[in-house]
């Protein structure tokens, strides 16, 4: 009776050493523990620091596993194409990380503030509030009333609620909109890399 090897290949993996093994890019399971260990130790590729991400296929993995045992049965429960990126280990420069974080925060704050101000100017929110205040209270607005205060507080709370993130505290267990967008962007990049690899090999390429 042949052994069955179950694979769950990840769509993208980052490694910190040049030699890439099957255990780095996939979860491997087999009742035959000896065969499972041999499969995990299969070397997929060797990468250089300046090399582009490696694009692999489950067919390549199947061929390498069958070279160990031609009778083995393979079940892939994960991706059919995968990407491996090599990033050598280096010491984290904490000051540099804080500087980059601060720069992004300042840039986001200024950009968001500018967008809000231009929207308020386009919609003429100040004049709208002044007319509402005058119609309700019967006197002219000085530009600093309960309407402006409520609007500012509501805008702040709305932004915090939308982004679902206050420092390390999340209001709900759902992923934040930024996390969702970054995941969608990462998926699009992975698909583009894989599709470009197929186009270049077939002689059809847009670059």
- pLDDT on residue 1: 62
CB 61 within 8 A of CB 9: yes
pLDDT of residue 181: 84
3 state SS of 95: helix
Residue 81, φ and ψ in degrees, nearest 5: -125, 145
**Cα 9 to the center of its chain, rounded Å:** 17
Higher pLDDT, 181 or 205: 181
Which pLDDT score, from 0 to 100, does residue 202 have? 54
Using 50, 70 and 90 to split pLDDT, how confident is the model at 200?
Answer: low
Please check whether residue 56 is in contact with residue 82, taking contact to mean a CB–CB distance below 8 angstroms.
Answer: yes
Give 90-140 pLDDT, tens digit per residue: 777 788 888 988 998 899 889 888 988 898 888 888 888 888 888 888 888
Q: What is the pLDDT of residues 45-58, one digit of tens each?
A: 888 766 688 888 89
| Alpha-carbon span 186 to 193, nearest angstrom | 11
pLDDT, position 162: 77
- Over the stretch 11-44, which tens digit does the pLDDT of each residue have? 888 888 888 999 999 999 999 999 999 999 999 8
Average pLDDT, the chain: 83
Q: pLDDT band for position 156 (50/70/90)? A: confident
Paired with 5 in beta bridges are 74
- pLDDT bin (cut points 50, 70, 90) of residue 160 is confident
> Looking at residue 75, what is its pLDDT?
92
């Amino acid at each position: 009776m042949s052994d069955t090897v179950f694979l769950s290949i990840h769509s993208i993996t980052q490694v910190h050493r040049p030699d890439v093994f099957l255990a780095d890019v996939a979860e491997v399971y087999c009742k035959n523990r000896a065969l499972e260990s041999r499969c995990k130790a299969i070397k997929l590729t060797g990468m250089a620091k300046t090399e582009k991400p490696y694009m692999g296929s489950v067919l390549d993995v199947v061929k390498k596993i069958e070279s160990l045992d031609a009778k083995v049965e393979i079940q892939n429960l994960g991706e059919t194409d995968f990407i491996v990126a090599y990033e050598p280990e280096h010491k984290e420069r904490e000051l540099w990380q804080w500087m980059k974080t601060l720069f992004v925060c300042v840039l986001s704050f200024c950009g968001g503030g500018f967008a809000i101000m231009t929207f308020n100017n386009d919609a003429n929110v100040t004049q709208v509030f002044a007319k509402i205040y005058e119609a309700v209270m019967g006197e002219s607005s000085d530009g600093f009333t309960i309407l402006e205060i409520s609007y500012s507080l509501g805008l702040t709370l709305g932004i915090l609620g939308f982004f679902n993130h206050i420092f390390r505290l999340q209001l709900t267990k759902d992923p934040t909109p930024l996390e969702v967008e970054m995941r969608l962007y990462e998926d699009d990049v992975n698909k583009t890399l894989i599709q470009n690899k197929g186009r270049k090999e077939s002689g059809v390429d847009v670059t």
